């Protein structure tokens, strides 16, 4: 088939057009063609389009081997486009309709999806099952490591910053920025108080307090951002550890 040849040569756009032409002309085995078209889109980095292409497939009128591929690609593409809740739900569908399917990549993606949704307790349970299922008994429970046991609450970081300038950034895991922010805002309050005590009411109200409120609101929003940033770094490190363990399971399966 010309489309297959184009795909094997890395001509993903041309291959995709060729698959689309076959689908349009009523070529049999539409689901396989849709799957191959999704491969092209995935190779081009168009994960959302790849996922949407798979939505046109009939998951219930094919042998289990093709159904498994359709589900796997749906899970993977939704994960790659950052739709972790959608990817997780697709995995549950796969477990429900094809309970006999056992794939380390599916199990691994299930854990990663939970991590990315900050559902670490559920992820830890799935991780323990993963280690047991693939006989990775030498692997310690990385979820018990101190650096992965606690995520920051962005809303809490923002709220704290409004009342205790700089503490929100400190809580978010950036103490130096917290100290800097706290000193600036304390200085502005000191300037305001000094202005009022010396009769400079206009300067104290509009320069001191006005600038303080701007810094305070900006600092609170920044604390929210820093907490999210810290969480992202924590989850990324955790996911890297999980992927290393997952690679060992895949090698065993192969």
**CB contact at 8 A, 194 and 205:** no
Confidence of residue 10 (pLDDT cuts 50, 70, 90): very high
The predicted-structure confidence for 31-71, as pLDDT tens digits, reads as follows 999 999 999 999 999 999 999 999 999 888 778 899 999 99
Rounded CA-CA distance 16/48 in Å is 15
Has residue 168 got a pLDDT over 60?
A: yes
Which residue in the block uniquely carries the two structure tokens 């794939």? 103
Least confident of 106-115, 213-222, 223-232: 213-222
Summarize pLDDT for 177-203 with one digit per residue, the tens. Answer: 555 655 555 554 554 454 544 554 444
Instruction: Give yes or no for a contact between 66 and 73, defined as CB atoms under 8 angstroms apart.
Output: no
Identify whether the C-beta of residue 134 lies closer than 8 Å to the C-beta of residue 108: no
CB atoms < 10 A from the CB of 89, how many? Answer: 15
Q: Which of 47-56, 161-170, 216-225 tops mean pLDDT?
A: 47-56
Q: The whole model's pTM is what? A: 0.79
Q: Are residues 187 and 208 in contact, defined by beta-carbon separation less than 8 angstroms?
A: no
- 27-41, 77-91, 230-244: which range is least confident on average? 230-244
| Percent of the residues in the chain that have a pLDDT greater than 90, as a whole number | 48
Answer whether residue 150 shows pLDDT above 70: yes
Share of the chain above pLDDT 70, in %: 72
Between these two residues, 83 and 204, which has the higher pLDDT value? 83
What pLDDT was estimated at residue 225?
73
From 29, 27, 30, 1, select the one nearest 14 (Cα to Cα): 1
Q: Which residue is associated with the tokens 């002309």?
A: 25
pLDDT score recorded for residue 6:
94
Q: Is the pLDDT of residue 23 over 90?
A: yes
Please state, in angstroms and rounded to a whole number, the distance separating the CA atoms of residues 91 and 85: 10
Task: Yes or no: say if 165 and 186 are a contact pair by the CB < 8 Å rule.
Answer: yes
**Is 29 a residue whose pLDDT tops 50?**
yes
When comparing pLDDT for 80 and 250, which is higher?
80
Token match 């995709």: residue? 16
- Tokens at 124, concatenated: 């830890």
Confidence at residue 141, expressed as pLDDT on a 0 to 100 scale: 78
Rounded to an integer, the average pLDDT of 222-235 is 81
């Amino acid at each position: 088939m010309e489309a297959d040849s184009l795909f094997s040569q890395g001509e993903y756009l041309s291959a995709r057009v060729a698959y689309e032409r076959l689908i349009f002309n009523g070529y049999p085995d539409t689901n396989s063609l849709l799957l191959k078209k999704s491969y092209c889109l995935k190779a081009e980095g168009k994960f959302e389009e790849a996922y949407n292409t798979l939505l046109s497939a009939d998951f219930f009128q094919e042998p289990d081997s093709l159904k498994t591929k359709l589900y796997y690609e749906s899970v993977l593409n939704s994960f790659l486009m950052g739709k972790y809740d959608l990817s997780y739900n697709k995995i549950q569908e796969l477990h429900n309709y094809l309970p006999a399917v056992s794939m380390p990549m599916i199990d691994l993606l299930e854990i990663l999806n939970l991590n990315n949704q900050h559902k670490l307790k559920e992820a830890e349970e799935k991780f323990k099952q993963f280690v047991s299922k693939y006989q990775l008994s030498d692997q310690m429970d990385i979820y018990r490591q101190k650096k992965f046991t606690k995520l920051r609450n962005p809303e809490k970081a923002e709220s704290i910053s409004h009342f205790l300038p700089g503490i929100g950034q400190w809580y978010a895991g950036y103490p130096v920025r917290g100290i800097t922010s706290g000193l600036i805002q304390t200085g502005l309050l000191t300037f305001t108080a000094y202005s009022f005590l010396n009769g400079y009411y206009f300067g104290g109200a509009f320069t001191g307090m006005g600038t303080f409120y701007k810094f305070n609101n900006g600092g609170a929003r920044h604390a929210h951002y820093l907490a999210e940033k810290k969480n992202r770094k924590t989850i990324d490190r955790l996911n890297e550890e999980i992927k290393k363990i997952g690679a060992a399971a895949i090698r065993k399966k192969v």
